[in-house]
């Protein structure tokens, strides 16, 4: 790695020497956005952590209580170890998929990439039931194993169950970001290594993987923090001695006056920031940019026949495992009754008929909200990444940390915060601001900003600064350089960011459920929640879940398609120039 | 400024006009409810048919989120009705002055079902359906594992049920909290907790939401669930292979509706309440996707097969106790926290000790041994032991710590009590495990 650093780091150190007014304006604008829609609402709620329950005076005694409570300390360490193990297992799933589809001539790469994103979209409740029906103690797999071999494998039990489900669920973070990074590595690096006699695993381990580090670290840190802060999966598996579920359980059951729930939230936010800081710290002082010669350097390697067979087998195996929950969801949406049996009793289309009348509105709202939110996210994400990596604006790093803190804010805290802060603010037509549908978009944007931000940062880290300097030396202005050189080179990362934000925003429920005012404004996830509260609504809920997955799948495929076409066009022109 | 003035005049104008035509409700009715779409849709359709000028907007939220939502939006309230099961949610909102008083015109509804008053005595919320608590089970699961059909709570404590039972955490489910209180009040504090912890040792899961239990029983994730009756009946209505039984000690509690303070459309809200309590509205409760017990005894003539009539049922059997809803309300937070600390968060340790006791008892039955028998009895006592008595549960220091502190400097905090109870349970379960294992060795 050091070899590359010295060879290519000439430009990195010499960031622009002065702060431009445009940069300051961008900084203030983003800061205002974050303060208004993240810091202020969260502070309005979390302040309870620092208050004496009786007198309301400032105190830190609640944090001392946290340390003295065995349950919470145990929960903390459980969360740490589960997060770390999830990163390891998620990497095992993501590495082959990312490597084979990006660095080689690989048929169906776009489809594999799309399918690889699907696990991220686990529709609330319906996904959980589907997982249990497949992998649970009395799920399909274990019923069959019991019948054939008399054994029962506890996939979904305890902390190991959480690690398994979280890795299946979140490995796309690594896949998406790592793929974006891998695509940006100059082919010349591999060629040089091959010429010097390196090949196979050694080539991957010593050359390719180190160069893709920005994407891997971006993805891995997201997985770590997300698993640390996630409560859906532990609750699904009924694991309660982890930190995020403890916070959620306390906030939603004991009530708003109890400080301990907010103390845990503060600990979650603080620890996530520390993890984030450590990951940037690990990346500091190294340079990952490779100067591509036009687009020609991105040509892909061909695989030998034997290697190809292995590659397809590995990928098929991984996809089979990670997509099983969605197969279960699809089965559930067509099932009449599915109870304590490997497969449903019979099949029907009536659940799709049941959701048909409502689903149009839900789909439209979901598309509108999720794409607006993801759009805001990549705009803000790119701006923050640029300010952090390319300018001398010191405060920019704080924007980065603040935005990442959103990952650790439980959705319900953000939802309550919005109601508390913006219910009193009325729009010109007399409607409270908190009840305006765009507020749902803002909540989604804030909650999913970290995903886009990490992707944008990784993308920019791989753009060599010498290209920008060249453009500026030729007389291009800063803005023109960004528009014509930086952004086009970041396309892959931007698509990755958009896709992750969009896909996860499309199934968000915890903040949405506090903010949805009427069915006319409700997204799919909310409709699904409404169905999944009764025995007869299970199939209908699953049907809505399948629709959500299909929508996100199609959108993801289209984004990859566009990105691929874009890249193909670039490498053609690049090749022609040579 | 001019615009604001114009708006104010306009608003005043509509207010006058509004009160003039208040007799025929129209416009939009906003209902915040914890009920699922399957429950609310039939009512929405029938009501909109009866009042063509009205549209009903159902906002489905879980009970806790709904209460929080109503609290947070009180400055600019847009909700007309709050419609949910758990009486304590209504009690909490009433305590904060968020509910409007209303005396319904509907007739034929008795004052009490079992021991529970149908309506809030102060008139802030009204019962529209009755629910009892009991045990539901998946018949396929039970057949596959060759398990018995339970009749009473104490059955669930038997060794055969180990690892097959589920319950929702009482701190998360108002209905489960009432089940707990029914047991604690019916059997008394010490015996009641013994039952609860013996069942606790057999638990497969403590779910974090009420519907998680019937959902899991429907799928066959666990065999038995402690649930409110309509979860069992509506699962049957949907075709799932489940059965439901009322144990002897249970209580019946009304599900409620209330008009929210400063409701934007009070006439429509009143019309909906009257509709819900009318025979026509009450009969809708029999729909397969709803299956709740109406509070009007007359409509039971039209009840579907398998629906019990609570007015002909001896609810508080066993000890013949009276359900004290004030007591349930006053110690609610303490009982829930105790359950969480003693069972929910210590489930692994509790199960391990319980399993060891079951095993030792099985051996004891095969060959009696006085010393081992004594050890097992001690282990059972350790599990049943409680960190506080029922008097302490309502004593001022604990109540104060849970309500927000007494304001005194050295007053103990809720977190300190919880830590102490959790440690008490962990230590006792570890000792119980050791004694049971020692007994098992003697019985080899």
For residue A75, pLDDT beyond 90: yes
Query: B427 and B351 in one domain?
Result: yes
Inter-chain touch A533–B414, beta carbons under 8 Å? no
The answer as to whether A319 is a domain residue is yes
Among candidates B231, B406, B422 on the partner chain, residue whose Cβ is nearest the Cβ of A54: B406
Question: Residue A294's pLDDT is what?
Answer: 43
The answer as to whether A70 is a domain residue is yes
Query: B305 and B350 in one domain?
Result: no
| ipTM rounded to 2 decimals | 0.78
Query: B431 and B335 in one domain?
Result: yes
Question: Residue A458's pLDDT is what?
Answer: 85
Summary mean pLDDT of chain B:
86
Query: B347 and B272 in one domain?
Result: no
Query: B267 and B413 in one domain?
Result: no
Among candidates A253, A419, A430 on the partner chain, residue whose Cβ is nearest the Cβ of B64: A253
Q: What does the pLDDT average to over B64-78?
A: 83
The answer as to whether B198 is a domain residue is no
| % of chain A exceeding 90 in pLDDT | 23
Residue B2's pLDDT band (cuts 50, 70, 90): very low
The answer as to whether A499 is a domain residue is yes
Instruction: For residue B283, give its domain range.
Output: 20-129+254-312
The answer as to whether A8 is a domain residue is no
A-B contacts at Cβ under 8 angstroms: 185
Task: Say which CATH number the domain at A452 has.
Answer: 1.10.3720.10
Residue A571's pLDDT band (cuts 50, 70, 90): low
The answer as to whether B341 is a domain residue is yes
Query: B350 and B286 in one domain?
Result: no
Per the structure, the count of domains in chain B is 2
Question: Residue B43's pLDDT is what?
Answer: 95
In tens, the pLDDT along A400-412 reads 989 988 887 878 7
The answer as to whether B138 is a domain residue is no
Among candidates B36, B141, B231 on the partner chain, residue whose Cβ is nearest the Cβ of A530: B36
Task: Collect all residues of chain B within an 8 Å Cβ-Cβ radius of residue A426.
Answer: 76
Among candidates A235, A253, A340 on the partner chain, residue whose Cβ is nearest the Cβ of B144: A340
The answer as to whether A296 is a domain residue is no
Predicted structure pTM score: 0.81
In tens, the pLDDT along A485-521 reads 888 888 888 888 898 899 888 888 878 877 887 778 8
Q: What does the pLDDT average to over A38-63?
A: 85
The answer as to whether B368 is a domain residue is yes
The answer as to whether B214 is a domain residue is no
The dihedral sign for the CA sequence B342, B346, B351, B356: negative
Question: Residue B397's pLDDT is what?
Answer: 84
Question: Residue B190's pLDDT is what?
Answer: 95
Instruction: For residue A140, give its domain range.
Output: 17-288+302-577
Question: Residue B18's pLDDT is what?
Answer: 40
Chain B contact present for A195, CB below 8 A: no
The answer as to whether B38 is a domain residue is yes
Q: What does the pLDDT average to over B371-393?
A: 94
For residue A195, pLDDT beyond 50: yes
For residue A56, pLDDT beyond 80: no
Per the structure, the count of domains in chain A is 1
The answer as to whether A9 is a domain residue is no
Question: Residue B21's pLDDT is what?
Answer: 41
Query: B408 and B362 in one domain?
Result: yes
In order of A149, A490, B161, the CA distances from A484 in angstroms are 62, 11, 69
Residue A191's pLDDT band (cuts 50, 70, 90): confident
Residue B321's pLDDT band (cuts 50, 70, 90): low
Bridge partner residues of A144 (DSSP): none
- Tell me, rounded to whole angstroms, the distance of Cα A224 from its chain centroid: 11
Alpha carbon of A286: minimum distance to chain B alpha carbons (Å): 45
In tens, the pLDDT along A250-287 reads 877 665 567 888 888 888 888 888 888 888 777 776 77
B281 backbone dihedrals φ, ψ, rounded to 5°: -65, -40
Buried residues in A157-180 as b, exposed as e (16+ CB within 10 A):
bebebbbbbbbbbbbbbbbbbbbb
Residue A382's pLDDT band (cuts 50, 70, 90): very high
The answer as to whether A168 is a domain residue is yes
Task: Collect all residues of chain A within an 8 Å Cβ-Cβ radius of residue B62.
Answer: 513
Residue B158's pLDDT band (cuts 50, 70, 90): very high
Residue B17's pLDDT band (cuts 50, 70, 90): very low
For residue A54, pLDDT beyond 70: yes
Closest-CA residue of B relative to A533 is: B36
In tens, the pLDDT along A328-353 reads 999 999 999 999 989 999 999 999 98
Residue B319's pLDDT band (cuts 50, 70, 90): very low
The answer as to whether B111 is a domain residue is yes
Residue A537's pLDDT band (cuts 50, 70, 90): confident
Name which residue leads in pLDDT, A110 or A300: A110
Q: What does the pLDDT average to over B383-398?
A: 91
Alpha carbon of A531: minimum distance to chain B alpha carbons (Å): 6
The answer as to whether B86 is a domain residue is yes
Q: Is A15 helix (H, G, I), strand (E, B) or coil?
A: coil
Question: Which of A11-25, A241-255, A420-434, B264-278 shows the lowest per-residue confidence on average (mean pLDDT)?
Answer: A11-25
Asked whether the beta carbons of A37 and A248 are under 8 A apart, the reply is no
For residue B20, pLDDT beyond 50: no
Query: B276 and B368 in one domain?
Result: no
Query: B264 and B115 in one domain?
Result: yes
Chain A contact present for B26, CB below 8 A: no
| % of chain A exceeding 70 in pLDDT | 92
Q: Is A37 helix (H, G, I), strand (E, B) or coil?
A: helix
Query: B291 and B363 in one domain?
Result: no
Closest-CA residue of A relative to B220 is: A340
Query: B262 and B352 in one domain?
Result: no
Q: Three-state SS string across chain B, please?
A: CHHHHHHHHHHHHHHHHHHHCCCCCCEEEEEEECCCHHHHHHHHHHHHHHCCCEEEEEEECCHHHHHHHHHHCHHHCCCCEEEECCHHHHHHHHHCCCEECCCCCCCCCCCEECCEECCCCCCCCEEEEEEEEEEEEEHHHHHHCCCCCCCCHHHHHCHHHCCCEEEECCCCCHHHHHHHHHHHHHHCHHHHHHHHHHHHHCEEEEECCCCHHHHHHHHCCCCEEEEEHHHHHHHHHCCCCEEEECCCECCEEEEEEEEECCCCCHHHHHHHHHHHHCHHHHHHCCCCCCCCEECCHHHHHHCCCCCCCHHHCCCECCCCCCCCHHHHHHCHHHHHHHHHHHCHHHHHHHHHHHHHHHHHHHHHHHCCCHHHHHHHHHHHHHHHCCCCCHHHHCCHHHHHHHHCCCCCCCCCCHHHHHHHHHHHHHHHHHHHHHHHHHHHHHCC
Q: What does the pLDDT average to over B53-79?
A: 85
Q: What does the pLDDT average to over A468-472?
A: 86
Asked whether the beta carbons of A119 and A169 are under 8 A apart, the reply is yes
């Amino acid at each position: 790695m050091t070899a590359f650093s010295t060879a290519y780091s000439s430009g990195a150190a010499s960031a622009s020497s002065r702060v431009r007014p445009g940069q300051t304006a961008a900084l203030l604008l983003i800061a205002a956005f974050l303060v208004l829609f993240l810091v202020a609402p969260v502070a309005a709620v979390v302040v309870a952590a620092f208050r004496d329950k009786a007198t309301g005076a400032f105190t830190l005694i609640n944090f001392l209580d946290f340390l003295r409570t065995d349950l919470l300390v145990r929960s903390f360490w459980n969360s740490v170890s589960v997060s770390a193990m999830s990163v390891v297992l998620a990497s095992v799933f993501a590495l082959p998929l990312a490597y084979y589809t990006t660095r080689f001539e690989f048929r169906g790469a776009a489809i594999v990439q799309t399918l690889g994103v699907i696990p991220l979209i686990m529709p609330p409740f319906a996904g959980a039931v589907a997982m249990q029906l497949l992998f649970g103690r009395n799920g399909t797999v274990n019923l069959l194993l019991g019948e054939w071999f008399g054994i029962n494998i506890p996939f979904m039990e305890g902390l190991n169950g959480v690690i398994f489900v979280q890795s299946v669920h979140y490995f796309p973070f690594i896949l998406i970001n790592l793929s974006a990074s891998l695509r940006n590595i100059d082919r010349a690096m591999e060629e040089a290594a091959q010429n010097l006699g390196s090949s196979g695993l050694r080539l991957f381990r010593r050359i390719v993987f180190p160069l893709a580090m920005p994407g891997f670290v971006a993805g891995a840190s997201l997985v770590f923090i997300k698993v640390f802060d996630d409560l859906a999966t532990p609750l699904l598996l009924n694991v309660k001695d982890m930190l995020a579920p403890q916070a959620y359980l306390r906030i939603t059951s004991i009530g708003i006056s109890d400080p301990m729930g907010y103390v845990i939230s503060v600990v979650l936010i603080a620890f996530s920031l520390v993890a984030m800081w450590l990951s940037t710290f690990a990346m500091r002082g190294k340079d990952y940019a490779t100067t591509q010669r036009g687009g020609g350097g991105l040509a892909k390697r061909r695989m030998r026949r034997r290697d190809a067979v292995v590659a397809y087998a590995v990928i098929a195996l991984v996809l089979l495992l990670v997509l099983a929950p969605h197969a279960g969801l699809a089965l559930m949406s067509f099932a009449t009754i599915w109870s304590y049996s490997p497969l449903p009793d019979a099949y029907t289309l009536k659940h799709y008929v049941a959701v048909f009348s409502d689903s149009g509105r839900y789909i439209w709202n979901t598309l509108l909200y999720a794409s607006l939110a993801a759009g805001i996210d990549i705009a803000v994400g790119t701006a923050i990444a640029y300010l952090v990596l390319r300018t001398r604006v010191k405060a920019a790093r704080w924007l980065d940390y603040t935005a990442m803190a959103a990952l650790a804010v439980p959705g319900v805290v953000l939802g309550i915060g919005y109601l508390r802060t913006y219910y009193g603010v009325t729009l010109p037509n007399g409607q409270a601001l908190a009840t305006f549908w765009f507020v749902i978009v803002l909540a989604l944007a804030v909650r999913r900003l970290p995903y886009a931000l990490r992707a944008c940062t990784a993308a920019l880290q791989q753009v060599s600064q010498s290209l920008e300097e060249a453009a500026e030396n030729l007389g291009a202005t800063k803005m023109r350089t960004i528009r014509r050189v930086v952004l086009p080179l970041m396309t892959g990362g931007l698509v990755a960011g958009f896709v992750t934000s969009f896909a996860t925003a499309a199934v968000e429920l915890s903040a949405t459920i506090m903010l949805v005012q009427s069915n006319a404004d409700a997204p799919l996830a909310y409709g699904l929640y409404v169905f999944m509260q009764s025995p007869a609504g299970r199939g209908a809920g699953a049907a809505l879940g399948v629709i959500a997955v299909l929508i996100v799948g199609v959108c993801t495929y289209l984004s990859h398609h566009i990105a691929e076409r874009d890249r193909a066009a670039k490498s053609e022109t690049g090749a022609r120039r040579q | 400024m001019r615009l604001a003035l114009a708006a104010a005049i306009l608003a005043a104008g509509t207010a006058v006009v509004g009160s003039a035509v208040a007799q025929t409700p129209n416009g939009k009715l906003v209902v915040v409810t914890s009920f699922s779409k399957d429950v609310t849709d039939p009512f929405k359709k029938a009501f909109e048919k009866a009042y063509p000028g009205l549209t009903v907007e159902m906002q489905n939220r879980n009970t806790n989120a709904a209460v929080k939502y109503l609290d947070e939006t009180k400055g600019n309230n847009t909700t007309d009705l709050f419609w949910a099961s758990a009486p304590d949610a209504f009690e909490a909102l009433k305590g904060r002055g968020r509910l409007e008083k209303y005396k319904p015109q509907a007739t034929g509804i008795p004052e009490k079902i079992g021991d529970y008053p149908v309506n809030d005595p102060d008139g802030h919320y009204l019962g529209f359906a009755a629910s009892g608590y009991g045990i539901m089970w998946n018949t396929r699961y039970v057949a596959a594992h060759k398990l018995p059909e339970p009749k009473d709570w104490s059955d669930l404590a038997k060794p055969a049920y180990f690892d097959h039972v589920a319950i929702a955490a009482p701190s998360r489910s108002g209905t489960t909290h009432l089940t707990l209180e029914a047991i604690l009040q019916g059997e008394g504090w010490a015996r009641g907790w013994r039952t609860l912890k013996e069942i606790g040792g057999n638990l497969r899961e403590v779910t974090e939401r009420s519907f998680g239990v019937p959902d899991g029983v429907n799928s066959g994730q666990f065999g038995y669930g402690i649930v409110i009756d309509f979860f069992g009946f509506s699962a049957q209505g949907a075709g799932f292979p489940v059965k439901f039984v009322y144990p002897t000690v249970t209580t019946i509690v009304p599900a409620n509706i209330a008009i929210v303070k400063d409701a934007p459309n009070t006439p429509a809200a009143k019309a909906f309440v009257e509709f819900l309590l009318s025979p026509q509205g009450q009969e809708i409760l029999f729909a397969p996707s709803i299956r709740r017990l109406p509070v009007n005894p007359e409509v039971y003539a039209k009840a579907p097969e398998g629906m019990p009539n609570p007015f002909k049922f001896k609810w508080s059997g066993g000890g013949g106790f009276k359900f004290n809803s004030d007591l349930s309300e006053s110690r609610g937070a303490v009982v829930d926290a105790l359950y969480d600390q003693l069972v929910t968060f210590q489930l692994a340790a509790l199960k391990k000790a319980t399993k060891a006791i079951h095993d030792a008892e099985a051996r004891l039955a095969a060959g009696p041994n006085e010393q081992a028998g004594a050890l097992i009895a001690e282990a059972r006592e350790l599990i049943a032991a409680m960190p506080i008595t029922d008097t302490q549960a309502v004593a001022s220091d604990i109540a104060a710590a849970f309500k927000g502190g007494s304001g005194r400097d050295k007053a103990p905090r809720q977190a300190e009590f919880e830590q102490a109870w959790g440690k008490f349970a962990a230590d006792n379960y570890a000792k119980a495990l050791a004694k049971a294992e020692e007994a098992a060795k003697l019985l080899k």
